[in-house]
């Protein structure tokens, strides 16, 4: 039985995600930006929260944890973090650890760069990737704590996942990411197709997530920093992919 996944908005532009295992009744929230919308979604479905899978320490990903833990007594899973910035944690996980949500299995991938503690959760059987603030649709997270080579390496780990996996990311930033990507990659047919799709979805007030990873690999310029065409657009022919990635990230920061 495949995971039942719900997508909704938290705060202004964070995504809330519930992953439900109908066989066991277990339900996980991926991060907890704020409690109220998560509780509303659980009640609408008649689900009980059993687990919170935290990706990193930022407040807009953990703000609802203590209220949800108090209400449901759920288990809180978070990345290993020497600075212990995340409270109420029951289980600390690291690369290649597997977390059980009922009968569902979530594999941990360490994807540092945005923060040093950032992890992504891969539900291999369900072909679902929760990449939070490492990989956005047509973008990637800002590099706050790590380095550009570190973030590029993390993106490569995610790019190595199969094309038919669905990406669930941390924020609805797709439209703004598309505007920037078109300035670098204007002739990319996959990007232009995604741009049209995003315009349609946002006009209907619908989320642009999930998206197939195969589609992202073709359309997301941040996943193509090792493509000679992208380097050429930046006048960086022959440059190291991590450097090209760094230049892309810097330009996006200023855009
Ligand atoms: Zn963040």
Q: How far is the CA of 23 from the centre of ligand 1 (A)?
A: 32
Q: How far is the CA of 236 from the centre of ligand 1 (A)?
A: 29
Distances (CA, A) of 222 to 55, 80, 115: 20, 27, 17
CA distance 108 to 121: 5
The mean pLDDT of 65-82, rounded to a whole number, is 94
Q: How far is the CA of 238 from the centre of ligand 1 (A)?
A: 32
Q: How far is the CA of 14 from the centre of ligand 1 (A)?
A: 10
Q: How far is the CA of 233 from the centre of ligand 1 (A)?
A: 29
Q: What is the pLDDT of residue 82?
A: 64
The mean pLDDT of 148-174, rounded to a whole number, is 98
pLDDT band at 85 (very low <50, low <70, confident <90, very high): confident
Q: How far is the CA of 57 from the centre of ligand 1 (A)?
A: 7
Angle at 219 between CA 109 and CA 162, to 5 degrees: 40
Q: How far is the CA of 142 from the centre of ligand 1 (A)?
A: 8
Q: How far is the CA of 237 from the centre of ligand 1 (A)?
A: 32
Q: How far is the CA of 133 from the centre of ligand 1 (A)?
A: 5
Q: How far is the CA of 27 from the centre of ligand 1 (A)?
A: 23
In the chain, the number of structural domains is 1
Percent of the chain past pLDDT 70, that is, above it, reads 98
Residue 94 has pLDDT above 90, yes or no: yes
Yes or no: say if 32 and 17 are a contact pair by the CB < 8 Å rule: no
Mean pLDDT for all residues in the chain: 96
Structure tokens at 189: 């047919």
Structural domain containing residue 111:
4-254
Q: What is the pLDDT of residue 2?
A: 84
The structure tokens 């995003």 sit at 198
Residue 1 has pLDDT above 90, yes or no: no
**CATH code assigned at 82:** 3.60.15.10
- B/e letters for 82-106, b = 16+ CB within 10 Å, e = fewer, are eeeebebbeeebeeebebebbebbb
CA distance 229 to 226: 9
Query: What does the pLDDT look like over 214-249, one tens digit per residue?
Result: 999 999 999 999 999 999 999 999 999 999 999 999
Cis-peptide, bond into residue 210, ω within 30° of zero: yes
Q: How far is the CA of 59 from the centre of ligand 1 (A)?
A: 8
């Amino acid at each position: 039985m495949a995971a039942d996944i719900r997508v909704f908005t938290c705060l202004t532009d964070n995504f809330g995600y519930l992953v439900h295992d109908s066989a066991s009744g277990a339900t996980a929230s991926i991060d907890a930006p704020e409690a109220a919308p998560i509780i509303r979604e659980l009640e609408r479905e008649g689900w009980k929260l059993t687990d919170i899978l935290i990706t990193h320490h930022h407040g807009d990903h953990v703000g609802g944890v203590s209220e949800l833990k108090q209400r449901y007594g759920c288990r809180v899973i978070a990345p290993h973090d020497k600075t212990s910035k995340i409270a109420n944690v029951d289980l600390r996980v690291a690369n290649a650890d597997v977390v059980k949500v009922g009968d569902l299995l979530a594999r941990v991938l360490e994807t540092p760069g945005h923060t040093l503690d950032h992890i992504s959760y891969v539900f291999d059987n369900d072909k679902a990737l929760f990449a939070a603030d490492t990989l956005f649709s047509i973008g990637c997270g800002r590099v706050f704590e790590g380095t550009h080579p570190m973030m590029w390496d993390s993106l490569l780990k995610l790019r190595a996942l199969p094309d038919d996996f669905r990406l669930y990311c941390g924020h609805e930033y797709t439209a703004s990411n598309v505007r920037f990507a078109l300035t670098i990659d204007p002739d990319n047919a996959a990007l232009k197709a995604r741009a049209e799709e995003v315009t349609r979805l946002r006009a209907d007030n619908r989320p642009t997530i999930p998206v197939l990873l195969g589609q992202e690999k073709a359309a997301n310029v941040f996943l193509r920093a090792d493509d000679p065409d992208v380097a050429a657009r930046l006048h960086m022919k022959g440059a190291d992919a991590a450097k090209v990635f760094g230049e892309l990230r810097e330009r996006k920061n200023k855009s």
